[in-house]
A and B are shown apart, each in its own frame.
Chain A
């Protein structure tokens, strides 16, 4: 328990938060990695997932890829990428994207697929084109599941971003590995608590947005 008190002393110490290597800067780095990885992954996975859901083609491929990512050890992906492209942000970013794409893809096609065929037929009967059905019916109605995919991807990336420091990048993992190497358990603990809080806050924000969305759509 003493360690826990010491860890909170670290977290409540303004000096630990300030400066280029402080908790504040590392947390912003962590968030920046997460945001960038999500942006890149969404740019790849959203269009593909929406098209898979809309056309129903390559569905098996999307299902398999999202199943496979669970079996993929994140540490293996990140260290392998680091050996190939070297120390820095590129290797972690590649692995974040590899790990985030399947979740977003799955959410996107599941969202589009979840719209009832009767609704889609009705939209077509109104004279909507394929694109209009996708943009005005399938995407808005599938939004809670599409956001669910982004939510899973965010969790995955926030967790994996902690490992980025292992291959020489920044983020809150820096403090964690510094504590590990110097046998400074309170510092490790403080960094771990910071990452856990960050993950839970982000997850709660997604939960909130999904709830608001469902309420606006009249589903609850």
Chain B
């Protein structure tokens, strides 16, 4: 406890750095996954290829991806952009499937009815399909947010600052409280973001009992 109090400023900085890596990746994977999933559902023969193909990315171990990706991006291994892109890829691996399933779960009759009353495809997507798929999309997003927050820390072995730095520092200098604080804070961060997502879900989708998909 004493160690934590003595290092509070550094822990705060690392927590913020952690969020700066995780939050853009979570947002990006959601914003990219939904259009991919929508397109995959429209072009039926491609659906399985796209969904399984992105799912396969999840098989790629995180540390090697952090190292291979700079070749494609032209960045350095320690660039935050590199880490964010890698995390987004893992997010996509989870999110494309759940978004495709979520959009697919919208009742075909509802879709036909909305077309019949004169919705254009774009209007139908935003005012019918998206709200109806919302709770299932949120469920997928929650999984992505938890796993992204825990994945960030691996990048610390490359020298990228995050709560993971508490693990590398703690290991190299044999400070158990440092590692323990890192694990607890990662879990707390994951939990807080999850609660935030649930709260936002209740706010924008009052018709759905969020979390009971």
What residues of chain A have their CB less than 8 Å away from a CB belonging to chain B?
1, 3-4, 67-68, 70-77, 79-80, 82-84, 155, 158-159, 162-163, 166-167, 173, 176-177, 180, 185, 188-189, 191-193, 195-196, 199-200, 203
Contact = CB atoms under 8 A, between A and B. Distances in A.
Main secondary structure of the interface of A (DSSP, over half): helix
Contacts of B73: none
A163 B156 CA distance: 11
Nearest to B190: A71
Interface of B: 56, 58-65, 67-68, 71, 77, 143, 146-147, 149-154, 156-158, 163-164, 166-168, 170-171, 174, 176, 179-180, 182-183, 186-187, 190-191
B157 A199 contact: no
Contact of B174 (A74, A83, A196, A203): A83
A191 B65 CA distance: 11
Given A73-B152, A80-B180, 20 more contacts: A3-B71, A68-B187, A71-B191, A72-B183, A75-B167, A76-B183, A83-B174, A155-B58, A162-B63, A162-B64, A163-B154, A176-B64, A180-B157, A185-B77, A188-B67, A188-B77, A193-B64, A195-B61, A196-B60, A196-B64
B127 to A, nearest CB: 33
A178 B186 CA distance: 28
Contacts of B179: 76, 79-80, 83
A188 B76 CA distance: 13
B187 A72 contact: yes
Main secondary structure of the interface of B (DSSP, over half): helix
B68 A162 contact: no
Contacts of B65: 192, 196
Closest 7 CB pairs of A and B: A159-B61, A192-B64, A79-B171, A203-B59, A73-B153, A76-B183, A192-B67
